[in-house]
Amino acid sequence: MEVLVVGAGAMGRWAGETLTTEFEIAFADRDATAAASAADDVGGRTVALDTDETFDAVCLAVPITAAEAAIEAHANRADRAMIDVTGVMEGPVAAMRAYLPDRERVSLHPLFAPENAPGNVAAVVDATGPVTDAVLDEIGDAGNHVFETDPDEHDSAMETVQAGAHTAVLAYALAAEDVREEFATPVSEVLADLVGTVTDGTPRVYREIQESFEGADDVADAARRIADADGDAFEELYDEAGRRHRGEETDS
């Protein structure tokens, strides 16, 4: 079986490398040099973005904002299945249902940067079959933990684990003063490491996450509540934070 991977960036390369045991890989990207490099790494080949060829499966590894348009553009190249690894699910799943109603459809979100693989992979298995089963098996065999979800649960979770978390880390980085290393505390050291993780990437990826998912305003509102609180009010917020972390019910 052959898979066309659309997008030769980091996540497209991860998809090609992960699937290469079971599938033959072809890459298409508007950057022909990037496509050729990715293909060379997995022993695959390249095709033009507007190729007339068809494939057993098409795997879309494009930016979040390009996902739905890419599904429409490449639907006729997927003989049996389409998979996306774009990082958002509600829109892509709806688009795949519309443009590939009689084919296998799976939306995946690897919850890690490729250099940190393997890890957790969220999956909406919308229409299963032998091709997508083989894809999921390959991802699992590479050491990843694939777990099923639905588009609403996934996209809601991203408001917390991506948009909210990134906002908190970047806000700390922007607010922090330059201090001697000797002043570091266990908490500040962890935060500094997180700043390094978040900022050791490309702004475009994080921009798309912020534009695609809510969550930043909730973090800003919580920070303002803490900044404005004193005495008993602060202690109540501190206790509420602990209860939330333990999964206990809160009044707010």
How many domains are contained in the chain? 2
Q: What is the pLDDT of residue 1?
A: 95
Give the mean pLDDT per block of 10 residues along the chain (252 residues): 96 96 96 97 96 98 96 98 97 98 98 93 98 98 98 97 97 95 96 94 92 95 96 95 90 64
Same domain? 109 vs 196 = no
Same domain? 11 vs 27 = yes
**Which tokens hold the place of 226?**
């803490």
Same domain? 72 vs 196 = no
Same domain? 129 vs 145 = yes
Instruction: For residues 235 and 238, give the distance between their C-alpha atoms in angstroms, rounded to a whole number.
Output: 5
Three-state SS annotation for 64-79: HHHHHHHHHHHHHHEE
Residue 251 lies in a domain: no
Same domain? 136 vs 157 = no
Instruction: For residues 14 and 93, give the distance between their C-alpha atoms in angstroms, rounded to a whole number.
Output: 21
Q: What is the pLDDT of residue 252?
A: 58
Residue 29 Ramachandran class (φ > 0 left, ψ -120 to 50 alpha, else beta): beta
Same domain? 163 vs 145 = no
Same domain? 136 vs 203 = no
Q: What is the pLDDT of residue 201?
A: 83
Residue 180 lies in a domain: yes
The range of the structural domain enclosing residue 33 comes to: 2-149
Of 98, 129, 149, the residue that ends a domain is 149
Same domain? 162 vs 123 = no
Are 169 and 195 in contact by the 8 Å Cβ rule? The answer is yes
Same domain? 169 vs 125 = no
Peptide bond just before 118 cis, omega within 30 deg: yes
Same domain? 82 vs 108 = yes
Would the pTM count as exceeding 0.75?
A: yes
Residue 252 lies in a domain: no
Instruction: For residues 127 and 135, give the distance between their C-alpha atoms in angstroms, rounded to a whole number.
Output: 13
Of 149, 176, 191, the residue that ends a domain is 149
Same domain? 134 vs 158 = no
